[in-house]
């Protein structure tokens, strides 16, 4: 049998390659940071989700090391058999405290949190109304659930209203949105979504993966930005971006929802607990955030500075309210050439084009971090300007 499928797989791979969509992995030999080593080269990293610069923070590393000694390396169990340590409970309480919610439940990833949130809560007689640009894990989670599916164009409130009207016959309605959309950096209009949810009797779920730690004055996410703390039924998020970047995800929100997920959510019931060192570092991280907004303030300053300077240099930047800055180039090949030349200049960024973004919307996505110093930002802006002049992107 394998002989036949091998030929088939060869062809599939060749097709991916000839379409220019083959993904190569770049090997990094240093910790994740503003400056990383890849190959023999040191480059400034502008494409990590390391928004608060915590991926290699000494306090988190120390907390993880200490937990190795006190709690061991792994737990070899799912949570409800013998995989719940005091650290897991403390981390869940810290997450709920951070978001101003009633309770939280940990998963191995946010992919799992989103995969396991819909099916236990909603059935055939219910409705899920989902933003068209929601993350792949939300789309997969919705697929696992029998609820009726409705979709609205990205952040389009008149389409959302239309879909809510259509869904009035259903028993329960849940509107689902990313907090920040990762390709443009725009924030979900949660204030308007909330008003529509009240008007048409629906619940809301927000995935704060790209917004937690970033959006809102103290980085509490989209619910802080729109003054809706504690008012949203379900929030999901990741520990793999702003929050230290290791691994882990969570769902947080109304107590009864979290209670039922502990009983019925399949990725929680049938997958291992996160390692104690990850839980311990997470607890330390939330404690740091309770004490100071230093990192969030620095990230906000860095982002505003970078965007203003790039606009001044003549770049076409998508409107953003996050630490994601999409430098629009429109042409696919140009986005790849420019990213390659920036790499030569010591700036590591990625160019995106169809099908990751719509046709004719190719871009370079820059992600700003609190670990960037002003000199890093200036170096990045200078490199962009130099390369863009050569490629006739700006004058
Ligand atoms: C990154 C991301 C995820 C996946 O998080 P993991 O913890 O890495 O699985 C889910 N949803 C959104 C919106 C994301 O940006």
- For ligand 1, say whether the CB of 178 is within 6 Å of any of its atoms: yes
- For ligand 1, say whether the CB of 320 is within 6 Å of any of its atoms: no
User: Based on C-alpha coordinates, what's the Rg of the chain?
Assistant: 22
* Distance from the alpha carbon of residue 365 to the mean position of ligand 1, in angstroms: 17
Q: What pLDDT sits at residue 39?
A: 85
- For ligand 1, say whether the CB of 109 is within 6 Å of any of its atoms: yes
Nearest to 322 by CA among 371, 367, 268: 367
Query: How many domains does the chain divide into?
Result: 2
Q: Over pLDDT 90: what percentage of the chain? A: 97
Residues acting as catalytic residues: 182, 210, 241
Q: What pLDDT sits at residue 40?
A: 84
- For ligand 1, say whether the CB of 240 is within 6 Å of any of its atoms: yes
The answer on 235 and 363 residing in a single domain is no
Q: Which helix (H) or strand (E) holds 387?
A: helix 374-390
Rounded to two decimals, the pTM is 0.97
Q: Is the pLDDT of residue 365 over 90?
A: yes
Q: Over pLDDT 70: what percentage of the chain? A: 100
The answer on 334 and 217 residing in a single domain is no
The answer on 297 and 281 residing in a single domain is no
The answer on 101 and 169 residing in a single domain is yes
* Distance from the alpha carbon of residue 345 to the mean position of ligand 1, in angstroms: 30
Q: Tell me the residue range of the domain where 87 lies.
A: 58-291
Query: End of a domain among 262, 291, 320?
Result: 291
DSSP sequence for 24-81: PPPPB-S-SSSEEEETTEEEEE-S-S-TTS-TT-HHHHHHHHHHHHHH-S---S-HHH
Nearest to 393 by CA among 326, 278, 315: 315
Q: For 209-265, what is each residue's pLDDT tens digit? A: 999 999 999 999 999 999 999 999 999 999 999 999 999 999 999 999 999 999 999
| Residue nearest atom 14 in ligand 1 by C-alpha distance | 209
For ligand 1, mutation pick of 111, 247, 324 (most atoms within 8 Å of CB): 111
- For ligand 1, say whether the CB of 371 is within 6 Å of any of its atoms: no
The answer on 145 and 246 residing in a single domain is yes
């Amino acid at each position: 049998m394998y002989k036949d499928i091998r030929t088939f797989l060869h062809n599939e791979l060749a097709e991916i390659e000839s379409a220019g969509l083959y993904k190569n992995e770049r090997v990094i030999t240093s910790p994740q940071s503003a400056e990383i080593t890849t190959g023999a080269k040191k480059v400034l990293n502008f494409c990590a989700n390391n928004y608060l610069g915590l991926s290699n923070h000494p306090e988190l590393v120390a907390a993880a090391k200490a937990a190795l000694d006190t709690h061991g390396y792994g737990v070899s169990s799912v949570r409800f058999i013998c995989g719940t340590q005091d650290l897991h409970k403390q981390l869940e309480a810290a997450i709920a405290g951070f978001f101003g919610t009633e309770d939280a439940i940990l998963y191995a990833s946010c992919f799992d949190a989103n995969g396991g949130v819909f099916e236990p809560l909603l059935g055939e007689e219910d409705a899920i109304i989902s933003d068209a640009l929601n993350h792949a894990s939300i789309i997969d989670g919705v697929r696992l659930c029998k609820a009726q599916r409705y979709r609205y164009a990205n952040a389009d409130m008149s389409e959302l209203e239309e879909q809510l009207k259509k869904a009035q016959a259903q028993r329960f309605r849940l509107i689902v949105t990313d907090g920040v959309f990762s390709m443009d950096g725009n924030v979900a209009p949660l204030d308007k979504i909330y008003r529509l949810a009240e008007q048409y009797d629906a619940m809301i779920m927000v995935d704060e993966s790209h917004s937690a730690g970033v959006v809102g004055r103290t980085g509490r996410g989209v619910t802080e930005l729109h003054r809706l703390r504690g008012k949203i039924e379900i929030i999901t998020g990741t520990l793999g971006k702003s929050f230290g970047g290791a691994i882990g995800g969570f769902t947080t929100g109304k107590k009864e929802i979290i209670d039922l997920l502990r009983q019925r959510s399949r990725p929680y019931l049938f997958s291992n607990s996160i390692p104690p060192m990850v839980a311990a570092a997470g607890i330390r991280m939330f404690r740091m955030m309770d004490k100071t907004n230093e990192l969030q303030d620095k990230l906000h300053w860095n982002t505003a500075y970078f965007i203003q300077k790039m606009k001044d240099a003549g770049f076409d930047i998508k409107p953003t309210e996050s630490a994601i800055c999409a430098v629009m180039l429109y042409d696919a090949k140009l986005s790849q050439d420019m990213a390659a030349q920036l790499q030569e200049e010591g700036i590591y960024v990625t160019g995106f084009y169809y099908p990751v973004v719509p046709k004719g919307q190719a871009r370079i996505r820059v992600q700003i971090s609190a670990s960037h110093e002003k000199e890093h930002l200036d170096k990045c802006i200078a490199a962009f300007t130099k390369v863009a002049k050569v490629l006739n992107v700006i004058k």
